[in-house]
Amino acid sequence: MLKVVKSSLVIAFASLSVTGIANADINADLANICTIVQADDKGELRKKMRSVQSDYRLKLNDYYSGISCSGNSLIRTAILSNAVEVGTLMVKKMPKSDLAAPEKDGKTLQAWITEQGLQDNPINAVLLDRM
C-alpha cells in the first residue's frame, strides 16, 4: 500500500512540473521570431513554426496576433525589413480571413501598406493575390 501511495505522489508531481514548464517554454520558443523575420531567414522560420506546431499544436495564425516586433505585426515587420521570402511564407500560411482582418491598431494590412506607401513591395503583390 505504501508503494502505491509513493508512486502516485511521484507521478502526480512529475505531471505537474511538466505542465508548468510547457506554458513557459512557448514564450522562450517564440522569443527570437522577430529577429528571424528581420533577417529574412525562411529556413529558420519554417523550423521554428514546425517546432511550435509539434510541441504545442499551434499554427501561425494561433500566435500571430500575440507577437509584436517594435509595435508591428510579423508581416508588417517583414515588409519594413524587405524580408520578401519570410513575408511571402507568412502570407501564404495565414488564412485569408486573418489577412483581411484589422490588426491591433484597427488597420488592415492593405490599409497600412497604402498608408505607408509600400504598394511596390513584393509582399504586397503576394497579399493581393491571396485576397
> What is d(CA 51, CA 57) in angstroms, rounded to the nearest whole number?
9
DSSP state of 72: B
pLDDT 10s digits, 83-130: 888 889 888 888 888 888 888 888 888 888 888 888 888 887 888 887
Portion of the chain with pLDDT greater than 90, in percent: 0
Selection from 84, 44, 80, 78 nearest residue 64 by Cα: 78
Confidence (pTM):
0.70
**What are the pLDDT digits (tens) for 60-73?**
877 777 788 888 88
Give the count of beta carbons closer than 10 Å to the beta carbon of residue 64.
Answer: 18
Ordered by start, the domain boundaries in the chain are 32-130
Task: State the pLDDT confidence band at 6, using cuts at 50, 70 and 90.
Answer: low
